[in-house]
Amino acid sequence: MSTIVPIKGIRYNPEKVSDLSDVVTPPYDVIDAAAQQRYYDKHPYNIIRLEYGKTYSEDDDVNNRYSRASADYKTWLENKVLQPDSKPALYLYEQEYTVDGSRKVRSGYICGIKIEPYEKGVVLPHEETLPKHKADRLSLMKACRANFSPIFSLYSDPEHLVTHSLKKAAAGLPKSAFTDENGDSHRLWAITDPVTIEQVQGLMADKRIFIADGHHRYETAMNYKLEREKEGPGSQKDDPSYNYVMMTLVNLYDPGLVVLPTHRLVKNVDPIIINGLMENMGHNFLLEEFEPEKEIKSIKKFLSDLYDKGRELSGKSLHRHIFGVYINKKLFFASLRKEEDLPSLMRPDKSPEWRGLDVSVLHSLIMEKYLGIDKNLLARGEHITYTREEEGALEAVDRGEYQIAFFLNPTLVEEVTSVAANGEKMPQKSTFFYPKLITGLVIKDLT
């Protein structure tokens, strides 16, 4: 089903850049203006200048962030700041990181994967996308003809055959090794052995690919491929590079695969609706105030209790239909009263797997039904902000910047793949795969 290929990766020249931590960044969509400036200041060759350049008031159709990225990219190649590897490779990639006090290692590999439309069922999405983000990524791809960051995707390999094959071939020291600004370690090996590559290709041939992070970039790659095909036969090769997009593939069964929750902050809703929210929620949800006797409440303890209560409700390791609500300086647990009511309360055209997601219940029942924030309003981005910062969420509500905060348990990996396998998409920001992939380790040429 899936077609993976080795790529002749373009990487930073160690003679020009001695410490990769100076030039790499997280994915562009988690970088705010302050972080963008910090990366600009960190090193003149930081990948931020290519992947997510600054915009200026005087920008126009000719001179803009995309034209500057293209010019810098060409200059860095000419000056050998960036160099293509001599042989096509599959790049074994390890991230060692700390989460909840525990040290973990996540293994994956970077490759090219043949771009397939979703309807073929080879590459499957799980989240909705927004047009403006795809327009931005397409402009960058057209200007630079390169993938600067890999799409993060998952595949199922219970026996870990792919990872074992790659690690067996990864003899010696890694091509790249460094520690990033968060204290996470990164190691990269280039696997060029034809036998190993062919073995991995065979193991992957019957596997579906589930996009974990990078839906906008994958759909952009599909659009870019169509545009390049329209350029005419003169631009075609037998199997052009733009038929493939750069991905980092991680096994669903990798012990280092972690999903964290993304919480919701609500603003710009009619105060009358806000004042009646808890009463309306009470029809379908059991509301329990957290530590009402304490003036100052521990958000860490609250989230720990939220997770435990979710497991208790489900009777197993899965959490089920319980949220945290912060309103009027009070924290509440909100748990669904009757699971059997879900089919009648939610969209009948959706599968039981989709209706069973905590994030689907939150968006369908609370956001849409009680707050009036439907899909169209959600897409406009005027009512919901997504955050991982629990303390910051409470403080933002207390300052009056937002009216309510909703806290979620993490979506489980098996929930993501079940929904994707049904051809359905989850609400935006339903998952936060941790840690994020690093941008700047490997670049894929699309010329």
CA distance 107 to 109: 7
CA distance 201 to 190: 16
| Predicted pLDDT at 280 | 94
| Predicted pLDDT at 76 | 99
Of 122-126, 224-228, 294-298, the poorest mean pLDDT is in 294-298
Q: Does residue 75 have a pLDDT over 60?
A: yes
Mean predicted lDDT score pLDDT of the chain: 92
Write the CB contacts of 414 (distance below 8 Å, at least 6 apart in sequence): none
128: pLDDT confidence band, cut at 50, 70 and 90? confident
CA distance 304 to 217: 34
Q: Does residue 118 have a pLDDT over 90?
A: yes
Q: Give the mean pLDDT of 375-389.
A: 87
Q: Give the mean pLDDT of 382-411.
A: 94
Q: Give the mean pLDDT of 168-176.
A: 91
Which residue in the block uniquely carries the two structure tokens 């962030």? 65
Domains of the chain as residue ranges with CATH: 4-258+435-445 (3.90.1530.10), 262-409 (3.30.1760)
| Predicted pLDDT at 317 | 44
Encode pLDDT of 271-323 as tens digits.
999 999 999 999 999 999 998 777 666 888 999 889 888 776 555 544 468 99
Nearest one of 93, 411, 111, 432 to 254, comparing CA atoms: 93
397: pLDDT confidence band, cut at 50, 70 and 90? very high
Partners of 373 in beta bridges: none
